């Protein structure tokens, strides 16, 4: 067993370092585009391999820890791999590989500029994501959280034009303001009261401060983790849609937004502890804010004609599902929320992939332009259908499980209002998401669609993989479920 433990630390370090080593290698390979793309793909494959190997160990009960330097006396950059972080790392690394394949198709098909810069910062962003996933204390989490914001800024502003600059400003402005203004304050206050910032199952704050202080602290965390897009700090998500679609797909369906809700779950489970969160009155108020976000974002999504904007607001809504699950402080809610990280990731990335494929193949960006597109691009729209059904939460797609658990959580906690919110939101999802592929397949096509072909093959391949992932998550949820049970002490 000890040989495996030593191996686990080594694996963790290797996984952490892989993207950071990959980035300069991409720069070195910039002369030949095929060689450069190969470096990205190899880095991604290596990362997936390492993360999978780690998964074997963590699923068996190992919790490898790693401590690096102390930037502040007594507070180290430390890593601890636990089930939630393992899940996040699996999703991020696996989908990075898929997205890299997709990006190659998209960037080449669209003749984008500055591709080297794109791939380098993509690798850096993934490096920050893995660092975040494996963080062992709040300081490390904060460091990689900020690193993620900064490394994704050049990706969001990739096109370098006025719109990109404005979008980048909103993106950076909201994310840095919330993280420095609220999150950092919360972390320092936590350090003052608890004396430590380590992630400990059961939390570090129990009994250290009066309830009202803990309540304020929880609010600071929920609003400070701006990447979870809880209203009113959600505007950065639609603003980030100025980015090229591969960026929107991986980062804003998977890495950045999941980093947000992941951090919320980590704080709830490992800083406060589920029982403490259940006791604080503020959790209830914050749950209402999350519920409001779910509904308002769904309604706004209904009214958006721009496809990416609609998907952005859908993401805002879905993220608050997870925040709600966390704040319910109920075992089913936590497990459901954590599962939703996985199921929503696959579903949303499929939708974004499809949106990008449509744009590259036909130049269309608006929902109203997609009538009858199903005949010309059947695989793309088919995948879109699968993705939207998964998000709605219908079997036989993975989203069904996470939604089921979340609903069960609301019932278990006796919160019927929230149950109603979830059901209403699912209904709205059907209206604003499923209607798109329905219209694409069953409406009469526009005349100027004649001769429209499918998207570039690499894009289509990626689409099929993620759509299949949605299906697989429904058929084989066991491993996921068993991985997550220790979070709630089961």
Partner 1 sequence: MIASNLPALQVVVPLISAPICAMLGRGRTAWVLTVAVSWTALAIAIALLIRVETGGVIDYEMGGWAAPWGIAYRIDYLNAFVLVIVAGIGAMVAPAALQGIATEIAPERQPRFFAAMLLALTGLLGITITGDAFNLYVFLEIASLASYALVAQGPDRRALMAAFQYLILGTIGATFILIGVGLLYMMTGTLNMADLAARLPAVAETRTIYAAFAFIIVGTGLKLALFPLHMWLPNAYAYAPGVVSAFMAATGTKVGVYMLARFVYTVFGAPFAFDTMPLGQILMPFALLGIVVGSLVAIFQDDIKRMLAYSSVAQIGYMALGISFASETGLIATIVHLFNHALMKGALFLALAAVSLRLGKTDLTAMRGLGRRMPLTMAAFVAAGLSLIGVPLTAGFVSKWYLVKAAIEAGLWPVAVVILGASLLAMIYVWRVVEVAYFRAPAANAPAAVEAPTTMLIPILILAGGGIYFGIDTEVTVGIARAAAMALLGTSP
Which residues form the interface with partner 1 (CB under 8 A)? 69-73, 139, 142-143, 146-147, 150, 157, 160, 164-165, 169, 172-173, 176-177, 180-181, 184-185, 188-189, 191-192
Q: How far is the CB of 208 from partner 1 (least distance, A)?
A: 13
Q: Nearer Cβ to partner 1, position 157 or 298?
A: 157
Q: How far is the CB of 192 from partner 1 (least distance, A)?
A: 5
Q: Nearer Cβ to partner 1, position 174 or 358?
A: 174
What SS3 class is residue 6? Answer: helix
Q: Nearer Cβ to partner 1, position 227 or 304?
A: 227
Q: Are 283 and 222 in contact (CB under 8 A)?
A: no
Name every residue whose Cβ is closer than 8 Å to that of residue 88 and which is 6 or more positions away in sequence: 129, 132, 133, 258, 259, 262, 341
DSSP 8-state code for residue 182 = I
Buried b (16+ CB within 10 A) or exposed e, 178-194: bbeebbbbbbeebbeeb
Q: Are 315 and 278 in contact (CB under 8 A)?
A: no
Q: DSSP secondary structure string, 402-471?
A: HHHHHHHHHHHTT-HHHHHHHHHHHHHHIIIIIHHHHHHHHSPPPGGGTT--PPPHHHHHHHHHHHHHHH
Report the distance separating Cα 296 and Cα 303, nearest Å: 11
Q: How far is the CB of 176 from partner 1 (least distance, A)?
A: 6
Q: Nearer Cβ to partner 1, position 182 or 401?
A: 182
**Side-chain half-sphere exposure of 249, counting CA atoms within 13 A:** 29
Q: How far is the CB of 157 from partner 1 (least distance, A)?
A: 7
Q: How far is the CB of 52 from partner 1 (least distance, A)?
A: 29
Q: How far is the CB of 184 from partner 1 (least distance, A)?
A: 6
Q: How far is the CB of 282 from partner 1 (least distance, A)?
A: 16
Name every residue whose Cβ is closer than 8 Å to that of residue 394 and which is 6 or more positions away in sequence: 400
CB count, 10 Å around CB of 60?
A: 10
Q: Nearer Cβ to partner 1, position 217 or 400?
A: 217
Q: How far is the CB of 180 from partner 1 (least distance, A)?
A: 5
Q: Nearer Cβ to partner 1, position 164 or 206?
A: 164
**Side-chain half-sphere exposure of 422, counting CA atoms within 13 A:** 30
Q: How far is the CB of 442 from partner 1 (least distance, A)?
A: 44
Q: Nearer Cβ to partner 1, position 80 or 179?
A: 179
Give helix then strand counts, H and E, for the chain: 22, 2
Q: How far is the CB of 436 from partner 1 (least distance, A)?
A: 34
Whether a cis peptide bond, with omega within 30° of 0, leads into 232 is yes
Angle at 311 between CA 359 and CA 423, to 5 degrees: 145
Q: How far is the CB of 89 from partner 1 (least distance, A)?
A: 21
Q: Nearer Cβ to partner 1, position 235 or 439?
A: 235
**Helix (H) / strand (E) containing 80:** strand 78-80
Name every residue whose Cβ is closer than 8 Å to that of residue 184 and which is 6 or more positions away in sequence: 142, 224
Report the distance separating Cα 422 and Cα 406, nearest Å: 8
- Token couple for 345: 């990731």
Name every residue whose Cβ is closer than 8 Å to that of residue 228 and which is 6 or more positions away in sequence: 222, 257, 260, 261, 263, 264, 319, 320, 322, 323
Q: Nearer Cβ to partner 1, position 215 or 399?
A: 215
Q: Nearer Cβ to partner 1, position 186 or 230?
A: 186
Report the distance separating Cα 430 and Cα 377, nearest Å: 21
Report the distance separating Cα 239 and Cα 309, nearest Å: 9
Q: How far is the CB of 191 from partner 1 (least distance, A)?
A: 7
DSSP 8-state code for residue 368 = G
What SS3 class is residue 198? Answer: strand
Q: Nearer Cβ to partner 1, position 227 or 344?
A: 227
Q: Which residues pair with 135 in a beta bridge?
A: 79
Report the distance separating Cα 297 and Cα 257, nearest Å: 15
Q: How far is the CB of 30 from partner 1 (least distance, A)?
A: 15
């Amino acid at each position: 067993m000890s040989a495996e433990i030593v191996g686990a630390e080594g694996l963790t370090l290797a996984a952490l370092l892989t993207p950071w080593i990959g980035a300069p290698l991409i720069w070195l390979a910039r002369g030949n585009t095929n060689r450069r793309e190969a470096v990205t793909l190899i880095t991604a494959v290596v990362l997936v391999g390492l993360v999978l190997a780690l998964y074997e160990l963590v699923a068996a009960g190992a919790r490898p820890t790693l401590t690096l330097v102390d930037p502040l006396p007594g507070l180290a950059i430390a890593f601890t791999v636990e089930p939630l972080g393992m899940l996040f790392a699996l999703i991020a690394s696996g989908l990075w590989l898929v997205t890299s394949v997709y990006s190659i198709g998209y960037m080449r098909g669209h003749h984008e500029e500055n591709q080297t810069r794109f791939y380098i910062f993509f690798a850096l962003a993934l490096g920050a994501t893995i660092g975040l996933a494996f963080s062992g204390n709040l300081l490390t989490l904060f460091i990689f959280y900020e690193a993620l914001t900064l490394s994704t800024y050049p990706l969001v502003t990739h096109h370098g034009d006025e719109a990109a600059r404005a979008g980048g400003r909103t993106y950076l402005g909201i994310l840095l303001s919330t993280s420095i203004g609220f999150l950092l304050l919360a972390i320092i206050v936590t350090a003052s009261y608890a004396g430590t910032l380590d992630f400990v199952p059961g939390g570090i704050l129990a009994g250290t401060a009066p309830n009202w202080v803990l309540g304020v602290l929880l609010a600071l965390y929920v609003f400070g983790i701006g990447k979870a897009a809880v209203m009113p700090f959600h505007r950065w998500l639609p603003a980030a849609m100025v980015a090229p679609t591969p960026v929107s797909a991986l980062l804003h369906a998977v890495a950045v937004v999941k980093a947000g809700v992941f951090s919320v779950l980590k704080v709830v489970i490992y800083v406060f502890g589920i029982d403490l969160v259940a006791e604080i009155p503020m959790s209830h108020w914050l749950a209402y804010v999350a519920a409001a976000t779910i509904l308002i974002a769904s309604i706004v999504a209904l009214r958006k004609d721009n496809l990416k904007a609609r998907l952005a607001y859908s993401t805002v809504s879905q993220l608050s599902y997870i925040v709600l699950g966390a704040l319910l402080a109920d075992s089913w809610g936590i497990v459901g929320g954590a599962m939703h990280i996985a199921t929503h990731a696959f579903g949303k990335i499929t939708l974004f992939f499809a949106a990008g494929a449509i744009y590259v193949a036909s130049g269309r960006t608006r929902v109203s332009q997609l009538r009858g597109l199903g005949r010309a691009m059947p695989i793309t729209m088919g995948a879109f259908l699968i993705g939207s059904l998964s998000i709605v939460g219908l079997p036989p797609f993975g989203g069904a499980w996470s939604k089921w658990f979340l609903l069960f959580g609301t019932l278990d906690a006796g919160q019927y209002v929230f149950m109603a919110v979830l059901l209403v939101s699912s209904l709205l999802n059907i209206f604003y998401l499923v209607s798109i592929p329905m219209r694409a397949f069953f409406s009469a096509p526009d005349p100027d669609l004649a001769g429209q072909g499918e998207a570039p093959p690499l894009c289509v391949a990626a689409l099929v993989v993620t759509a299949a992932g949605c299906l697989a998550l429904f058929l084989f949820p066991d491993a996921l479920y068993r991985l997550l049970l220790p979070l709630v002490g089961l």
